[in-house]
A and B are shown apart, each in its own frame.
Chain A
Amino acid sequence: MLEVQAVSCHFGGLVALDNVSLRVEENELVGLMGPNGAGKTTLFNVINSFVPFTEGKVYLKGEEINSLAPHMITRKGLVRTFQDIRVFSWLSVLENVEVAVPLNRNIGFWRGMLPTPGARLTQESVRQRAAECLNLVGLPGLSERNARSLTFGQQRLLGVARALAAEPDILLLDEPSSGLNQEETEILAEVIRQIHQRNIAIFIIEHHIGMLMNLAQRIIVLDRGKKIMEGTPAEVREEEGVIKAYFGEKKKWLT
């Protein structure tokens, strides 16, 4: 599904990513962890082409996507969310999701000004599709509210619904649980499980290690821009280097 080949990324003298290679298979749920500043979000930014990178290649379903613009990568089936959420504050909850439904782009300039029966039909199916996505993340009944009036946790779920509406084959989630309380985190984990059941591959950055261990089939660990380990949750738990990268020498934190 997704293949990152020997990608390096420098900002001035700083090496943000150093020769990172990884794969996410079809319908796989892969976790990405590492301490702050390890380059996790940079890796996401490189994959969806927000940040140009120095060396390496990124493939999506066998096709090289290095040179594509971010919106084209989304249209090809790789969709991401953001750590800082970034809902569309000038749109309602439903509209936030509607604009991501691919079909909405059929309403261009002329059909926008002259609502033909066909345009109305399109509008209705876009609305339905958006409502489905909101239902899936557990946000029904809030459609007309302004996106900014939602709680932090609800905005987070809205971000996931928006990504889902873009019809991804692989979903990149950037720390979806950050800032959520225990209850919200559990709801989120359930939503992620349900998305995964729909044959969507998921690549997830997560600081909440408990959640990651439960969800992920495979975990990749980054530290200072390098991939230091890859394995099943059980293998990662045992690995000395990971513990060091995360917690320094104080092993007791993990127990």
Chain B
Amino acid sequence: MILCPIILEYGFSYSLEPALQAGFFVILSVSLALVVGLTGQISLGHAAFFGIGAYGAAILATRGNLPVVLAIPAGTLVGLAAGFLIGYPVLRLKSYYLALATLVIGIAVQEFFKAADFLTGGEIGLYDLPDIKLGSFELSSAFSHYYVVWMFALIIVFFCDRLSKSFLGKRLRAIHSDEGAAESAGIDVPRMKLGIFTFSAAIAAFAGTLFAHCSYGTIDPGEFGVVLSIKIITMVVIGGMFSVYGAAMGAVIIALLPEMIRRLGDLAHMDLTQITHLQDIAFGVILVIFVIFAPQGLIGKIRMSRTNA
């Protein structure tokens, strides 16, 4: 993990872009895994919280003149509040209705980013966002971005994994299994669902604040749409519903897939449009293969082959 960027940059003259993106995907995937995988509440609007965190921090840092190191926690808190306010009414819904409601909220939030020009810069978005400054030291290089994002990604993976294996995680899995039976076992189902949803939203928002201030310094509404939400849920499914490490693995695969396809396409002397189509096809094929042959995800598949052996 530490040497990876150096090898990529100097050994293969790769750009760091996919590796950095993978870090953001890992945080998003792991946070959503707590809600979708563990608790069984389908959310198709996770990108909205990513965006709320990004815009929250960016607006506070540029228009509010807040130092970035304060804008990041502040943006995370905005995401936490948004998670609570959205989760409170929406989590009363179940299965398809919940999926539909979160999808619509995701779209609505993105439309708000587009429409609220005075705050968000409209379709163009915000640019020239400041980097993280520690004293006089500015984290402005691609390397430092990579290390900061991946450091936080690994910390988040570690603690979310602990959480999922604790009694709290077991209670959430009980809710996933049967809400009525969970209630009659003394579990406060509405409160637990709201709690984990809010926590998950806060983590996604945190990823957003890093995306604004520890990446390319530009954000626009197009990045926080339904496509991203569906990508995140795909990462969770590919990795395995119950495993935080699985969700992280799924994120890395989805992040690096386009780059791998591009390399393959180059070898076959394909042009750019052909490669783009190939990337879309590969994405769809992989999703279908997983849903049919490994609905329990990669981690589940590995575990099964171990127990059968």
Q: Which residues of chain A have a CB within 8 Å of any CB of chain B?
A: 48, 50, 69-71, 74-75, 79-80, 82, 86-91, 95-96, 98-100, 102, 104-105, 107-109, 111-115, 123, 126, 162-163, 165-166
Contact = CB atoms under 8 A, between A and B. Distances in A.
Given A71-B189, A108-B168, A99 B183 contact: no
Contacts of B242: 90
B167 A80 contact: no
B203 to A, nearest CB: 12
A155 B163 CA distance: 27
Contact of B169 (A75, A112, A162): A112
Contact of B186 (A50, A74, A86, A88): A74
A112 B167 contact: yes
A86 B181 contact: yes
B121 interface: no
Contact of B162 (A74, A88, A115, A162): A115
Contacts of A102: 186
A166 B187 CA distance: 10
Most buried by B among A74, A87, A99, A166: A99
B128 to A, nearest CB: 37
B244 to A, nearest CB: 12
B176 interface: yes
23 contacts: A50-B180, A71-B185, A74-B183, A74-B184, A75-B186, A86-B178, A87-B178, A88-B181, A88-B182, A90-B173, A90-B177, A90-B242, A91-B173, A98-B170, A99-B170, A102-B186, A104-B167, A109-B199, A112-B167, A113-B162, A113-B166, A162-B185, A166-B186
A71 B186 contact: yes
Given A91-B170, A115-B162, A70 B183 contact: yes
A102 B182 CA distance: 12
Contacts of A70: 180, 183-184
Nearest to A88: B177
Contacts of A98: 167, 170
Contacts of B127: none
B103 interface: no
A104 B171 contact: yes
A90 B186 contact: no
Contacts of A96: 174
Contact of B168 (A50, A80, A89, A107): A107
Contacts of B187: 71, 99, 105
Can you list the 5 inter-chain pairs with the closest CB atoms, starting with the nearest? A112-B166, A88-B177, A107-B167, A100-B185, A112-B168
A111 B166 contact: yes
Contacts of B166: 107, 111-113, 115
A165 B186 CA distance: 10
Given A50-B180, A74-B184, A111-B166, A99 B195 contact: no
Nearest to B175: A88
B159 interface: yes
Nearest to B189: A71
A107 B168 CA distance: 6
A208 B296 CA distance: 40
Interface in B146-196: 159, 162-163, 166-171, 173-174, 176-178, 180-190, 195
A90 B176 contact: yes
B143 to A, nearest CB: 30
Contacts of A86: 178, 180-181
Nearest to A165: B185
A43 B166 CA distance: 36
A99 B166 CA distance: 11
B167 A99 contact: yes
A90 B177 CA distance: 6
Contacts of B177: 87-91
Nearest to B176: A90
Contacts of B173: 88, 90-91, 95
A165 B182 CA distance: 13
A109 B163 contact: yes
Contacts of B169: 112
B27 to A, nearest CB: 16
Given A69-B190, A112-B167, 20 more contacts: A48-B184, A69-B183, A82-B181, A82-B184, A87-B181, A88-B178, A90-B173, A90-B174, A90-B177, A95-B173, A96-B174, A99-B167, A99-B187, A100-B186, A102-B186, A104-B167, A104-B170, A105-B171, A112-B166, A113-B162
